[in-house]
């Protein structure tokens, strides 16, 4: 199987990438912050089925946004893919994205998961997990419960630099206002069992190891651990209990075409391919994500998409609260 052309990006190389805009070719240049094997395999399949050569550039979402801004006069990328809606606001504000033709795909998507210039590929709920063997009857129903002093020393979380936590708290600010959210976050920080460290998988493992009673994590990690080749991760996933908060924060992974890109038709074909039922099943079965298409079944460990309450979220303006959220993290000492 042929390998994708892959370049890892950083801000250090931005200034070296100001080449003139290439003419349209039978290629597709993708800037992606979705660094998953399932994506690479789907792109290889797209390349094989269409004959379009895929060039994949990977990096962090905010760094890729900065690169797109620098290249705006002569775009190199045709597609931008990333893991969180917090990057959508700056992309729209800087007019980086092109109009998108979703055709009949709109009929299969939730109304808040697409716009004129973007569309969700997958969804992930941010939930609370616990050890269901040693804590079979948890009293917790939401994050507000965990901010109560009775849960002192029980909470595990990754750091405030995590885009997942950034989006979570930004969503609370969007819905509840800054001060109410600051009080919530301050209560959570006071109840941390340790200084935030590690990724979501580490939080799950630490709960089962007894280092804390409750952890905040994304649903797709639970499902991914269930399918892991690591026996320890499978055991952890099977021992986890899942609490979907009364208003569960759901973030999206999304995709868009770049304005004035060299290969817009190829970009459109890729988006249609990734929204197909077969590709959406791959996201669900291999990466444990909630697909953009609600008809695709998810892991048996997770609640079906229509079985839990979602917090209201305006994805196009969520990133408007990024700076406020960072300020809030500093104020409450969420490291």
Question: Strands 53-58 and 240-243, how do they pair?
Answer: unpaired
pLDDT above 90 as % of the chain: 88
pLDDT value at residue 104? 67
Number of CB atoms found within 10 A of residue 138's CB? 16
| Intervals of CATH 3.40.190.10 along the chain | 5-122+252-302, 124-249+309-332
The CATH code of the domain at 5-122+252-302 is 3.40.190.10
pLDDT value at residue 23? 58
Residue 220 clears pLDDT 80, i.e. is over it: yes
DSSP string, 225-292: HHT-S-HHHHHHHHHEEEE--TTBEEEEEEEEEBTT-S-HHHHHHHHHHHTSHHHHHHHHHHH-PEES
Mean pLDDT within 303-332: 97
Nearest CA to 286 out of 272, 295, 273, 296 is that of: 296
Mean pLDDT within 74-84: 97
Residue 9 clears pLDDT 90, i.e. is over it: no
- For domain 124-249+309-332, the question of CATH label 3.40.190.10 is answered with yes
Spell out the residues 6+ positions from residue 68 whose beta carbon is closer than 8 angstroms to its own.
Answer: 31, 75, 77, 80, 91, 94, 96, 258
Residue 15 clears pLDDT 60, i.e. is over it: no
Separation of alpha carbons 164 and 218, rounded Å: 8
What are the tens digits of pLDDT across the range 136-175? 999 999 999 999 999 999 999 999 999 999 999 999 999 9
């Amino acid at each position: 199987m042929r390998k994708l052309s892959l370049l890892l990006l950083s801000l250090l190389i931005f200034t070296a990438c100001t080449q003139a805009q290439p003419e349209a070719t039978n290629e597709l240049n993708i800037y992606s912050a979705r660094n998953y094997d399932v994506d690479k395999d789907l792109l290889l399949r797209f390349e094989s089925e269409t004959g379009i050569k895929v060039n994949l550039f990977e990096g962090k979402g905010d760094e890729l946004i900065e690169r797109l801004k620098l290249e705006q006069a002569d775009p190199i990328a045709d597609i931008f893919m990333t893991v969180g809606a917090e990057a959508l606001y700056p992309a729209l504000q800087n007019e980086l994205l092109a109009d998108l033709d979703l055709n009949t795909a709109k009929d299969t998507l939730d109304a808040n998961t697409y716009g004129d210039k973007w569309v969700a590929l997958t969804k992930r709920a941010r939930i609370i997990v616990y050890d269901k063997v040693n804590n079979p009857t948890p009293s917790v129903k939401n994050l507000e419960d965990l901010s109560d002093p009775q849960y002192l020393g029980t909470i595990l979380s990754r750091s405030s630099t995590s885009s997942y936590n950034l989006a979570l708290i930004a969503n609370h600010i969007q819905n509840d206002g800054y001060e109410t959210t600051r009080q919530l976050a301050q209560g959570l920080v006071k109840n941390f069992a340790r200084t935030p460290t590690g990724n979501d998988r580490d939080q799950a493992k630490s709960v089962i190891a007894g280092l804390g009673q409750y952890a905040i994590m994304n649903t797709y990690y639970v499902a991914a651990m269930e399918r892991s080749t690591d026996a320890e991760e499978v055991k952890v996933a099977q021992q986890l209990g899942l609490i979907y908060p009364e208003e569960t924060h759901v973030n999206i992974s999304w995709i868009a075409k770049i304005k004035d890109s060299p290969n817009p038709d190829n970009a459109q074909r890729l988006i249609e391919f990734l929204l197909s039922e077969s590709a959406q099943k791959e996201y669900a079965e291999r990466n444990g994500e909630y697909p953009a298409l609600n008809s695709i079944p998810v892991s048996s460990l997770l609640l079906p998409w229509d079985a839990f309450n979602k917090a209201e979220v305006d994805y196009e303006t969520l990133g408007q609260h990024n700076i406020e959220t960072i300020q809030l993290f500093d104020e409450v000492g969420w490291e």
